[in-house]
Chain A
Amino acid sequence: DAGVIQSPRHEVTEMGQEVTLRCKPISGHNSLFWYRQTMMRGLELLIYFNNNVPIDDSGMPEDRFSAKMPNASFSTLKIQPSEPRDSAVYFCASSSPRGGSYNEQFFGPGTRLTVL
């Protein structure tokens, strides 16, 4: 089975540009999470969805960040306008609430974003 798929794997952009990160969760998983990882702040949860509905977006740093999940198999994280301090690795993860599961989160390979 395919794991969590993220695209692009690497993104280099200039300050002020719009950036869109994409995620396809594991089929059948109904929870999706967006994380940001930096050396300074570690791994931070930005937002998560259950059944395509945003549940907790308290980690979204500011209005420049937005996330959508239009259907069970696709989510986007958009930064507009981007700033150099947004440079980080962005992970998408998914999990399933099936009985007997630990609800462990399965992570995608990440998108390394560099904003110049």
Chain B
Amino acid sequence: AQKITQTQPGMFVQEKEAVTLDCTYDTSDQSYGLFWYKQPSSGEMIFLIYQGSYDEQNATEGRYSLNFQKARKSANLVISASQLGDSAMYFCAMREGYSGGSNYKLTFGKGTLLTVNP
């Protein structure tokens, strides 16, 4: 079974509207971390936001927020007030184990290509 599932290969959104990118995960660990990265057409991977499994509040970073539903094992990325520069591939990733340990391995999903229309 895939550890990270992103069911939306592509998404479209109008500029200035909000969009939600889906991510579900599969782990038996109690301690884990979830990450979102952005990859624009230029190719670099940009870290956006992080959610720890024990964090009680949903993470927020500017226009990015993470809708973390632990029981459903979902960690959806919400982008508010979309901008043309948000057009990119977005990857969800998971680190299993606690952040102070030695296992820093990330497993990435297949990604969602977001297109923001003017």
Interface, chain A (partner B; CB < 8 A): 31, 33, 42-43, 45, 48, 50, 55-56, 89, 91, 93, 95, 97, 99, 101-107, 109-110, 112
Contact = CB atoms under 8 A, between A and B. Distances in A.
Interface in B65-118: 91, 95, 99-100, 102-111
B105 A56 contact: yes
B105 A48 contact: yes
Contacts of B50: 102, 104
Q: In the complex, which of the residues B44, B106, B110 has the most CB atoms of chain A within 10 Å of its own CB atom? A: B106
Contacts of A33: 104-106
B100 A104 contact: no
Nearest to B59: A102
B47 A104 contact: yes
Q: In the complex, which of the residues B47, B52, B104, B105 has the most CB atoms of chain A within 10 Å of its own CB atom? A: B104
Contact of A43 (B47, B52, B102, B108): B108
Contacts of A48: 104-105
B43 A110 contact: yes
Q: In the complex, which of the residues A56, A99, A105 has the most CB atoms of chain B within 10 Å of its own CB atom? A: A105
Nearest to A101: B99
A109 B44 contact: yes
